[in-house]
Amino acid sequence: MNKADSTRCQAIKESGCICCLLVTGKTQAPDVHHLTSGSRRTGHQATIGLCPYHHRGLLDNQSKQFVSGLLGPSYAWGRKGFQQHFGTDEQLLKIQNMILERFTELPWHDYAVPYLVVREAKQMWATR
């Protein structure tokens, strides 16, 4: 991993889960999820932030039905359903890149994403 890749992964970890942001306007600590083409990763620059629920399906003592009703599907439960709800890898990568640009300009702390960034992300998501 080169310096640009490390910088991107760190920024993703500090900026939060893209799916939580789109659904709730709030976010939490994410895993770095590598996007794929076929079954191969497409590199560290093709990554998005997904919280443990959206990435690995971890539920924190809640039922799958309850959590998916609040936050949408988890990638761990199937890529097709996840993409139907949240968009394609390319669409999510575009939103993630915008979030990282804004985060680089003015970093936020404790996953408190500025309202203007939330609004811009939701607008991009709505026009997918």
Instruction: Per-residue pLDDT tens, the chain, 128 aa: give them.
Output: 899 999 999 999 999 999 999 999 999 999 999 998 777 888 899 999 999 999 999 988 888 888 888 999 999 999 999 999 999 999 999 999 999 999 999 999 888 999 999 999 999 999 88
Domain boundaries of the chain, sorted by first residue: 3-126
What kind of architecture, by CATH, is found in domain 3-126?
2-Layer Sandwich (3.30)
* pTM of this prediction exceeds 0.85: yes
Which value, to the nearest 10 degrees, does the dihedral of the CA atoms of residues 101, 103, 104, 107 take? 170
Q: Are 5 and 44 in contact (CB under 8 A)?
A: yes
CA distances from residue 14 to 7, 25, 26, 64 in whole angstroms, order as listed: 11, 16, 13, 27
